[in-house]
Every structure is written in structure tokens, then in C-alpha cells.
Amino acid sequence: MYLGVIVNPFARKNRGASDDRCAGLRRLVGAWGEVHETDSVRDLPGVVERLRPRASHLVSDGGDGALHWLINEMVLQESDPRRWPAFVPTNGGSIDFVARKARIRGRADTILRTLSAAAQADRRPPEVRLDTLELSGETCYGTRFHRIGFALAAGGVGNRFFDKYDEYRHPGRVTMGRVIGRAVADYAMSQLSRRPRSAGHLFTPTHARVVIDGREVPTDTHNALHAGAFDVNLGGVLRVFPLAREPGAVHFQAGAIPPAHMIANLPALIAGRAIRSARLRDVGGREMVIEAAQQPLSPIIDGERFTDITRLVVRAGPNLRIAMPGPISRQ
């Protein structure tokens, strides 16, 4: 075993950490790996290039977004998934849905202590394989777009939710509840007063032509435009993409759903059930094609926003090895 640790100092739970944090992680890793801090995603190519030939495990000390960038840099540098190391998320972000799915608990120091002990004992930790999405398409500049990810909010309420969520200084479970509660209250008040309120942005549809498994969705306005590679637990508040619970399945959502129906479906989202509305396609499938109308898409993939996308094809991607060091948590 050889551990490659990539520290994102801007991850939510790393902000304000002491300057000797990396030194402490290096002491934990010892002779069994190396620790690198990245000030931006521009630092990743060099770090991954250095670690790729020897690291058996890549530890992402950050949140879901940091893990997303790390995985995609590995994909760029090594096209054969069989040669990828095992990835290790460390619960350093505001949601950490990948670590939650892999049932990993603890922060980087706890995880590295366990991994270093396993390396010294020449005993690899158990692993789980997680499904991914492969997203390919084009930008409005004619350039190619390609990412590997776990959860997509291409438009609609899931995408606009992050605009509200990111307005808070301390995102997390409580913040998520506040955004949802405020949206419900604002919508109720707007119905009573007949005046638009801040919830109007959250419920603004995205315009696009969408085809799922060769069948066109019969509307070009989408209040939900999402895809998930596995069932996602969002901070213990919402449980989405239940149709992707079984390995190899992809859950797609596209279509028009009135705000009142969204609110009525909150119990289903909290319980982890599929949602229902007459003009919404909420299905398992193989492929979703999205062609932007009126303006380019700004999809959010694993909490990271990308811009200027005119066409997006979403399919099942390769599955990834995720190491599970130490005790596992309950979902």
C-alpha cells in the first residue's frame, strides 16, 4: 500500500485549520505515503501525475467536489479504469454524500491513522464499488465536455437549490432544512398575496429538449432535470434517486412539475421514494440526452457548477473502487 493524500484547504471543514495541518497528516502517513496541498484545481494535474504510478489509494481531504475533481484528473491521465487506485473520501465538505454512500465515517486524521496501520500490517482495507455517471457533450464554444460524476442537477429545482444553499456561510444539514422551509413558506405566501417571492427562482423551469432512452419528454420546460448513479442521501435531510439503488441502474428525472406538486412530494423525498407528477418522467434508464433551449445549461455535478453547456448525454459510467478504512457507519 502507498497512500496519496490531496488536501483541499478550502473545503468547508478545512477552513480555518491550523497551518501545521498538513504536517500533522504527514506524521500520520509516515513512510506509507505522501501529502500534498492544492490551492486550486490547477494544482491537481501535477500532483496526480506524481502520485499515479505508485499510489494504491488516493485520499481526498475535502468534500464531494474535491473528490470529483480528483477522479476526473485521474480519468484524464489514465484511460484504463483497471489501473485506477482506490479512492477514499474523508467527510470534509458540507454534504459528503459519496462518503455516506460508502459508509465511511471520520475525518482525514482518523481515516489516515487507520490506513497507515493497514499499510504497516500489509493488510488492505475492504472496498466497495460505486457506480458513476458518464457525462459527455458540447459547449456553446464548440469544445468537448466530458466528466465522470455521481449526481447531476442539469436544471430545475435541484440546480437552483444550490444558488440558495450557497448563500449561507455555514452550509450543512441545518442550512438545507432552512432553504427547503423558506421555499415552502415563500411559495405559500406568494399564493396568498399573489406576489412573487424568493421561492420563484427556485421553481423557475429550465428550457431544454430531453430524450430518455429514445423517447422524447413531451415538454421543453423542466422543473426537474436530474440524474443519479446511486441513491443519494443529502445530509440526512433528503434521499434522492432511489431507482438507482441497485448496482448498474441510473435514475433520471425530467419534465414539468408544478411547485405545489414538488412541495407535496417532500415526504417522498425525505423517505427516499420516487416522486410522482403527471408531466414528470421519474424513471430508471440507460441514456438521457439534453439539448439546451433559449440559453446554455449550467449543470451541477457532485456540487460543482459547470457553464455554457449546449448538449449533454448522460449514461452509466465506470464503477470506482472506494476503500472503507476502519469501522463503517450506518446510512
Domain ranges across the chain: 3-125, 133-316
CA distance 119 to 127: 15
SS (H, E, C) 214-269: CEECCCCEECEEEEECCCEEECCCEEECHHHCCCCCEEEEEECCCHHHHHHCHHHH
The CATH T-level fold of domain 133-316 is Tumour Suppressor Smad4 (2.60.200)
Beta bridge partners of 255: 224, 280
Q: What is the pLDDT of residue 187?
A: 75
pTM reported for the whole predicted model: 0.91
- Of 129, 48, 71, 68, residue with least CA distance to 299: 68
Q: CA–CA distance from 17 to each of 11, 31, 223, 293 (Å)?
A: 10, 24, 39, 44
Q: What is the pLDDT of residue 52?
A: 95
Q: What is the pLDDT of residue 329?
A: 43
CA distance 5 to 22: 10
Residue type, 237: V
Instruction: Give me the numbers of helices (H) and strands (E) for the chain, helices first please.
Output: 10, 21
CA distance 279 to 255: 6
DSSP state string for 3-58: EEEEE-TTSGGGTT--TTHHHHHHHHHGGGEEEEE-SSGGGHHHHHHHHTTT-SEE
What would the CATH number be for the domain defined by 3-125?
A: 3.40.50.10330
- The DSSP symbol for 100 reads H
In the chain, which residues have pLDDT < 50? 328-331
CA distance 91 to 58: 14
**Would the CATH topology of 3-125 be identical to that of 133-316?**
no
Q: What is the pLDDT of residue 73?
A: 97
- The DSSP symbol for 82 reads G
Q: What is the pLDDT of residue 328?
A: 43
Beta bridge partners of 233: 239
Residue 31: exposure state from Cβ atoms within 10 A (0-12, 13-18, ≥19): exposed
Q: What is the pLDDT of residue 100?
A: 94
